[in-house]
Amino acid sequence: MLLAIDCGNTNTVFAVYDGEDKRCEWRAASKSGRTADEMGVWLNQLMQMKGLGPESITDAIIASVVPAAVFDLRLLCHRYFSAPPLVVGEPDVDLGLQVLVDRPEEVGADRLVNTVAAFRTYGGPLIVLDFGTATTFDVVDAQGNYCGGVIAPGVNLSLEALHMAAAQLPRVAIGRPKAVIGKGTVSAMRSGIFLGYLSMIEGLTARISAEFGAEMTVVATGGLASLFTEATDVIHHLDHDLTLRGLLEIHRRNAASHHTRTSTTHT
């Protein structure tokens, strides 16, 4: 079985795949300083509840946008599952695409993984819209290559910044407003954040498509994707499992050569 790890700025997702089938999935806060041993004890307990032991894991793959977390995630795979992991972004990992930007090494692993999964599922050209700590728009061409994109502050990050910077503005939950014109502070903030982001989504997808010169499929993923997908017709597909499926596809592509390298190392 494959242990797939998606480490984001806010949360880290651990999923176990048996072939194409996802057996289980868990989510933990991406806390700084969490050791391999802490994660190993926690993850093994959860796996046991699903009838899985550490020996069930034969392979592992990691995508992380938190460089400081990679060492302990890699150690977790080695120490607790005896599964040397593939790490997306390392030179020997074949993604099956070109990264057509000025500095390919700066592109987040999650954005590349999403590109792989989205192209395999929906074809191209397309825009992958990811609602995470940042809201990102990633452009994929008709051949499946990563062509760049747009990065904006995430919805919850913007709400928190508004609350922290303005003494009289409370902390509010994101939600679809009943009207554009708010009749109170909370309703005005909800309108500004939700409809402001909705306008950004509609405006940027239109501008990206016009600049790219083609009609583009828009795929949304991430925590708040469903909320915004319901409110606009510019998003064509909602896909919460996009990143994990991308990890599965990248592992499949690299599995044969990775096992060969591992066997040679231990000979």
Is 10 labeled as ligand-binding? yes
Is 241 labeled as ligand-binding? no
Is 175 labeled as ligand-binding? no
Is 133 labeled as ligand-binding? yes
Instruction: Give the span between the Cα atoms of 146 and 172, in whole angstroms.
Output: 36
Instruction: Give the span between the Cα atoms of 204 and 225, in whole angstroms.
Output: 16
Cβ–Cβ under 8 Å, residues 30 and 11: yes
Give the DSSP H or E segment for 40: helix 36-49
Instruction: Give the span between the Cα atoms of 93 and 49, in whole angstroms.
Output: 32
Is 141 labeled as ligand-binding? no
Cβ–Cβ under 8 Å, residues 41 and 98: no
Is 190 labeled as ligand-binding? no
Q: Which residues are catalytic?
A: 110
Phi, psi dihedrals of residue 98, rounded to the nearest 5°: -100, 145
Is 13 labeled as ligand-binding? yes
Phi, psi dihedrals of residue 15, rounded to the nearest 5°: -135, 145
Is 184 labeled as ligand-binding? no
65: nearest Cα among 146, 158, 148, 132: 132
Is 11 labeled as ligand-binding? yes
What is the token pair recorded at 77? 């795979």
What is the token pair recorded at 261? 């390298």
DSSP-derived secondary structure letter, 130: E
Is 232 labeled as ligand-binding? no
End-to-end CA distance of the chain, in Å? 23
Is 110 labeled as ligand-binding? yes
Is 111 labeled as ligand-binding? yes
Annotated binding-site residue numbers? 6-13, 108-111, 130, 133, 185
Annotated binding site for K(+): 130
Give the annotated binding-site residues for ATP: 6-13, 133
Q: Which residues are annotated as part of the binding site for substrate?
A: 108-111, 185
